[in-house]
Structure 1
Amino acid sequence: MADRIVKLLNDLVETSKDGEKGFLAAAEDTKDADLRGLFRERATDCGKSAIELQEVVTRLGGTPETGGHVSAAVHRGWVHLKAALATRSEAAILEECERGEDIAKRHYADALHEPLPEDIRAMVERQYSGVMRNHDQIRDLRDRYRENA
């Protein structure tokens, strides 16, 4: 059972690292100081989640992941290429962030469908609430920036 949980938690580590890197990339791309600050805060939150998950993986005797998913690295590379080729609006950057948070929501929801010890379930549920908050905030900001475009 511990091996299954370690694998599941390591997937969430990768997901959190993807979020951290994605939000940092968004902070670099935006020209809006308020969004830059928000993206950096979200990156920090994702980084803290990854550390918390890594600590549990270590406690369970596993080797924690240290990076994100390969597909996310490719996605970030594509996002930066698109940014270099064209001026991106804040709404477009927010759309990319929302797409990343949609993926995170799916990974966390999948994890919560698995049988987990109560302490680990509580941590995953708390982090999932943060992912939902991030997603909803990004979606609302995206809508607001679209209306003002």
Structure 2
Amino acid sequence: MSTKTDELNDLIEVTRDGKRFYEHARDEVKEPQLKALFTDMAQAKTEVIAALQGKVAANADTPATGGTLTGKLREVYADTRAKLSSDEGATYIAQLEEAEDRILHAFEDAMDAHEPDLRADVAPLLPKVRACHDRMRDLKKAQ
């Protein structure tokens, strides 16, 4: 596997963490608006993952199929905080916004890489990643 494939697979894993976290949060919250938002955000992550998987497959390599331990730990932490909180929605929003920070930073780091092919693969996805991040950041600030 090439360094480029490794980097793309890292992005797949961190994005998959976000997707799974949104799906989990959707199943945990009671507010219909948050359920709808979390569904939309999970779908956006699905689209990014599919695009990244296509780039890895185009290199005749195998795309990552899992997430990361950090992503799973963040989910468990959010569950624990939500159970102790009087506002589970706000707890999940705060934790999901942090997950969005992690995803955005991973994509920005990939853009800072010295490998032009990697930047070319990541650049078209960055607006969607940034839009998801900004949506959760704005929602967190509005609370």
Q: Is this a same-fold pair by TM over 0.5?
A: yes
- Once the two structures are TM-superposed, the CA of residue 92 in structure 1 deviates from its matched residue by 2.1
Identity of aligned residues (%): 27
- Once the two structures are TM-superposed, the CA of residue 8 in structure 1 deviates from its matched residue by 0.5
Correspondence list, 1:64-103, <5 A: 64-103=63-102
2:139 is matched with: 141
Contact kept in structure 1, 2:22 and 2:38, CA below 8 Å: yes
1:128 is matched with: 126
> AA paired with 1:93?
Y
2:34 is matched with: 35
- Once the two structures are TM-superposed, the CA of residue 97 in structure 1 deviates from its matched residue by 1.0
Contact kept in structure 2, 1:29 and 1:83, CA below 8 Å: no
Compared CA separation, residues 85 and 77, structure 1 to 2 (3 A): same
Give me the whole-angstrom Cα distance separating, in 2, the residues matched to 1:111 and 1:89.
Answer: 33
Correspondence list, 1:9-48, <5 A: 9-48=8-47
Tell me the SS of whatever aligns to 1:65: coil
Extract unaligned runs of 5+ from structure 1: none
Extract unaligned runs of 5+ from structure 2: none
Give me the whole-angstrom Cα distance separating, in 2, the residues matched to 1:35 and 1:42.
Answer: 10
- Once the two structures are TM-superposed, the CA of residue 78 in structure 1 deviates from its matched residue by 2.1
> AA paired with 1:132?
R
Deviates more, 1:125-134 or 1:92-101: 125-134
Give me the whole-angstrom Cα distance separating, in 2, the residues matched to 1:99 and 1:126.
Answer: 23
Contact kept in structure 2, 1:29 and 1:93, CA below 8 Å: no
Query: RMSD across aligned C-alpha pairs, in angstroms?
Result: 1.7
Report the number of matched residues: 142
Give me the whole-angstrom Cα distance separating, in 1, the residues matched to 2:110 and 2:71.
Answer: 19
Compared CA separation, residues 143 and 134, structure 1 to 2 (3 A): same
> AA paired with 2:93?
L
